Amino acid sequence: MAQRFVTIWFRQLKTDWFINRQPSLRSKPFVLASPDHGRMVITEANDLARAEDVVDGMVVADARAIIPSLHVLDDPPGLTEKLLKSIAVWCIRYTNIVAIDPPNGIIMDVMGCAHLWGGELNYIREINLHFKNRGYQVRATMADTIGAAWAVAHYGNTNPIVEPGMQYHELLGLPPSALRLENATVERLHKLGLHQIQHFITMPRAALRRRFGKALLLNLDRALGNKDEPILPIFPIEPWRERLPCLEPIVTATGIEIALQRLLETLCIKLQKEEIGIRKAVFTSFRVDGKEEKIEIGTHRASYNRSHLFKLFENKICTIEPALGIELFMIEAVRTERCSPRQENLWDSTTGLQDSGLSELLDRLTNRFGSSPIRRFLPAEHHLPEYSYKESTELREIPTTTWMVDRPRPLQLLSRPQSIEVAAPIPDYPPMHFRYLGKLHIIKKADGPERIEQEWWIQDGPLRDYYAVEDEKGQRFWLFRSGHYREDKTPQWFIHGFFA
């Protein structure tokens, strides 16, 4: 399939944008200006101002001498780039590969896209009509090369489509400036009487290079298709992205579900062939009014099970607001991992963390309630209880050590020990009672002490003597005394956990 490119030329991008925001400017001559070496210089003029010979680059004072009633507006820095990027993002509904072409253009690689709109002519008409309805003076053209499409958009006839392989003939009657040459090169060509590309296209290349430089030959080769012209898309080309344009805007939840199922089916088939699974995916709906609606899901284990992935998205479809309608759907696997199929046993069933049913259950709970209610902890190689565990986000992560099970540990551990008032008879005896949150607890049973110290290479805190105690109501607590007992100093006691 031959390459096809579309270039969109906005003849007066910024002035059209200002008119859209302030419709009263449509009937007035006005210009945009920015300071330059202490002067206000015109950066763009509208049609009414151009009709009075006010052009870009003119000093505002000179322009006002021609049109006393001229309106002058500040040209915000970076406005061109901001507008082009916004338009390029919107154009993603026509193709995956969209790039900006400063100062007033968009470039799209549309190979294999036009048939979705019923052919190239309908495709170009749709683009032109959309921007004209929004108040922009625009011309979109299509050709085998970016150079040919750009040349026809700026200097060509009324036909917006260059038929495949016909760029050579379309370029012959165009001026040299259609090759995107520097002004100095164009002036030298005109001085020699070379007013059209056909006047020098057949000249010896060595003579052209010697007289006009390499840029002329490079741009000519790119326009003819002899050399590739790279473009930098606004979004990197993601290998796991699928798009679904709609012939009619979708406004119902059922329509959104059907689109999502089709996209997941296509994407998961490709992922399965490559043995790759989804860890995070984003489903984007492009609305007619230019806004986007996004929902995303994540999985604990890489998966290409489309029915499971659809269930994760299904709970969030109700958050999508179609408004006037959605004209393009896109799904993208933002994060992927290798997902090799596991060997299944005929007689044994997989249990524990390797059970796919468990990971799918965790996916559904996490995507509905968030990740905070569901956590997995692994043992860590530290003695102090608050550092003896770590949180894991991966089901496949293997612990580097084992849990301590030789001594009882509380079911609920405070993230930070809290100070309490304790009455204890002598150093090695357990406390008789303690006060926690203003409530007095009389201790009936106790076990301890269990001494816990930091690792020898850390030792930035005192040792701890822990006691498991039970009060008169049967409540069980984990207390500790900080540091060695000293007769000249009252020991500090803390509560660190609660037994079931």
Cis peptide bond upstream of 160, omega within 30:
no
CA distance 432 to 481: 13
Q: C-alpha dihedral over 412, 416, 420, 425, to 10 degrees?
A: 80
Q: Which class does domain 1-28+69-237 fall in?
A: alpha beta
- Provide the pLDDT confidence category of residue 120 given band limits of 50, 70 and 90: very high
**What per-residue confidence (pLDDT) applies to 152?**
94
What percent of the chain lies above the pLDDT cut of 70?
91
Residue 388 above 90 pLDDT? no
Residue 346 above 50 pLDDT? no
**What per-residue confidence (pLDDT) applies to 396?**
67
The contacts of residue 430 (CB under 8 Å, 6+ apart) are 424, 443, 446, 447, 448, 449, 467, 469
Cβ burial 401-415 (10 Å sphere, 16+ → b, else e): eeeeeeeeebeeeee
CA distance 164 to 411: 73
Higher pLDDT, 161 or 338: 161
- Provide the pLDDT confidence category of residue 351 given band limits of 50, 70 and 90: low
Sorted by where each begins, the domain ranges of the chain are 1-28+69-237, 241-338, 412-498
How much is the average pLDDT of 41-59?
Answer: 92
The string of pLDDT tens digits covering residues 214-228 is 999 999 999 999 999
- Provide the pLDDT confidence category of residue 167 given band limits of 50, 70 and 90: very high
Phi, psi of 426 (to 5 degrees): -130, 165
What percent of the chain lies above the pLDDT cut of 90?
54
Q: Indicate the range of 31-35, 174-178, 362-366, 400-404 predicted with least confidence.
A: 362-366
**What per-residue confidence (pLDDT) applies to 466?**
92
- Provide the pLDDT confidence category of residue 372 given band limits of 50, 70 and 90: low
Phi, psi of 287 (to 5 degrees): -85, 160
**What per-residue confidence (pLDDT) applies to 2?**
73
The string of pLDDT tens digits covering residues 14-47 is 999 999 999 999 999 999 999 988 899 999 999 9
**What per-residue confidence (pLDDT) applies to 395?**
66
- Provide the pLDDT confidence category of residue 352 given band limits of 50, 70 and 90: low
**What per-residue confidence (pLDDT) applies to 434?**
94
Residue 426 above 60 pLDDT? yes
How much is the average pLDDT of 420-425?
Answer: 88
**What per-residue confidence (pLDDT) applies to 248?**
86
Domain 241-338 annotated CATH 3.30.1490.100 = yes
The string of pLDDT tens digits covering residues 86-112 is 999 889 888 889 999 998 999 999 998
CA distance 442 to 118: 84
Q: Indicate the range of 118-127, 412-421, 476-485, 486-495 predicted with least confidence.
A: 486-495
The string of pLDDT tens digits covering residues 261-311 is 999 999 999 998 888 988 889 999 998 888 889 999 888 788 888 888 998
Q: Indicate the range of 53-67, 157-171, 360-374 predicted with least confidence.
A: 360-374
The string of pLDDT tens digits covering residues 234-260 is 877 667 888 888 888 899 999 999 999
Residue 375 above 80 pLDDT? no
CA distance 482 to 484: 7
Q: Look over the chain and give the mean of its residue pLDDT values, rounded to a whole number.
A: 87
Higher pLDDT, 77 or 345: 77
How much is the average pLDDT of 383-410?
Answer: 78
Cα 265 to Cα 100, 238, 359, distances in angstroms: 32, 17, 21
The string of pLDDT tens digits covering residues 178-220 is 999 999 999 999 999 999 999 999 999 999 999 998 999 999 9
DSSP conformational letter for 82 = H
- Is residue 395 within 8 A of residue 359, CB to CB? The reply is yes
Cβ burial 322-357 (10 Å sphere, 16+ → b, else e): beebbbbbbbbbeebeebeeeeeeeeeeeeebeeee
Phi, psi of 407 (to 5 degrees): -130, 150
| Farthest-apart Cα atoms in the chain, separation | 112
**What per-residue confidence (pLDDT) applies to 146?**
95
